[in-house]
Structure 1
Amino acid sequence: MAAAWSRRRWTSAALGCAAAATAAWPLRPVAASQLEEPLADSVRHALRAAVEFNDPLEPEFPSSEARMAYLRWLTQLSPRLARRMPELQQRVDFFQTVWYESRRAGLDESLVLGLIQVESGFRQFAISVVGARGFMQIMPFWARLIGDGDVGGLFQLKTNLRFGCVILRHYLDRERGDLFLALGRYNGSRGRSPYPNAVFAAQQRWRVG
């Protein structure tokens, strides 16, 4: 679980001098169509509760060490996305949201970043041929099943990452912790290797030392 969040804005000054170098992105596998599967009422209600927003927007840490660990993570990763997101504050907001939503769902941040790279190439307004939307390519049916029905809202940073992380956590629980199968289910290609392998490969790029 991530640290609690406060409404105070983090300064981005510590990141202002970061170099803007990034390697070419690997080719993405052809997108499959995530399946709309029947959900038990209890599961649907739990997922709906999991995507509700009742938390503030900024991180607050229990100790100075925890705060410094977050800032080191942010400082190391921000330059790697500078080519795709030239504006520093946009990158800070993006990584901050990844940090929070990943930890809230019990997922590794590097895994979520690898999935985003494969799914959308870090394009906020990406739309796939099957209609999936945003950074984590959320299928529109999820807005109806567990959201407020507003498909356009899936392009919002926090909404998209909240849905994506909750959905991946749901699939991981369904697959009893088998990440390979959970990723395949997320992509609609359960049991086939190209998509999970692409995410695992991309994940390596987003690990920090």
Structure 2
Amino acid sequence: MFKSLQILLLALIGTLVSITCFAGSQKEEPLSNSVKALMQRSISDRASPRLVFATPEEGSAWLNEMSRRLQKRMPDTEYREDFLRTVHYEATRAGIDPQMVLGLIQVESGFKKYAVSSVGARGFMQVMPFWVRSIGTNDHNLFHLRLNLRYGCTILRHYIDIERGDLYRALGRYNGSLGKPQYPNLVLGAWRKNWDYSTKNWEYAPKNT
């Protein structure tokens, strides 16, 4: 009986905690006062998440398609659609493609809300806890769906700005593997294979170096 309980407990922990070799390990670096203030304003946003499309019909089409693709990973319809609306809102307000963010989440956490990496990164977008100290407040819980996505998108936007729009290098910074091709290629590959929703030409092709 005791052994069965142990097995059950381990299985439960396995569903809550994911240690992945590609989980985020952002480097803690000094921020200028202006950058810190900008990121703090972004984190403090309290507007309700919503789809940002030219028409409601376009938003519904996107939500239905992304929901269909995500169904196996997130079976609960209400939670899945709330997650997708939040991804779209937080990514769009940060000036990032929401589909790319879905690719990043797939690689970082496998869409596990309570994923924790071997270096302590947390949640869907594997945010390092030092960011709460740097730009947030003590009551910020990185396992909270919207807070995690808001932090992740804000941090990635910061790295894109540092790299002057070079998404490939920004992804390397996000993962703490700047200069190495494996992680950016995984994210961009997941984006292109599973989440691409654009008729435009592929802009960020994976690189070999």
Aligned pair in 2 of structure 1 residues 32, 52: CA closer, same or farther (>3 Å)? closer
Unaligned runs of 5+ in 2: 1-19, 199-209
Kindly indicate whether residue 129 of structure 2 is the aligned counterpart of residue 140 of structure 1.
yes
1:108 to 86, 92, 97: 97
**Mapped partners of 1:32, 1:177: distance in 2:** 20
CA contact (8 A) 1:29 1:195 kept: no
CA drift of 1:34 comes to 1.5
Aligned pair in 2 of structure 1 residues 142, 71: CA closer, same or farther (>3 Å)? same
Unaligned runs of 5+ in 1: 1-27
Give the number of equivalent residue pairs.
178
TM value normalised by structure 1: 0.80
In structure 2, the partner of 1:95 is 84
Percent identical pairs in the alignment equals 52
Q: CA deviation digits over 1:129-179, x for unaligned, max 9?
A: 00000000000000110000246x111111011110010000000000011
1:85 to 56, 74, 79: 74
The 5 A counterparts of 1:146-185 are 146-150=135-139, 153-185=141-173
Which amino acid in structure 2 is aligned with residue 201 of structure 1? G
RMSD: 1.6
1:67 to 56, 62, 70: 56
CA drift of 1:58 comes to 4.1
Kindly indicate whether residue 35 of structure 2 is the aligned counterpart of residue 46 of structure 1.
no
SS at match of 1:154: coil
CA contact (8 A) 1:113 1:203 kept: yes
Q: CA deviation digits over 1:101-150, x for unaligned, max 9?
A: 11100100111000000000000010000000000000000011000024
In structure 2, the partner of 1:198 is 186
Aligned pair in 2 of structure 1 residues 32, 208: CA closer, same or farther (>3 Å)? closer
CA contact (8 A) 1:29 1:194 kept: no
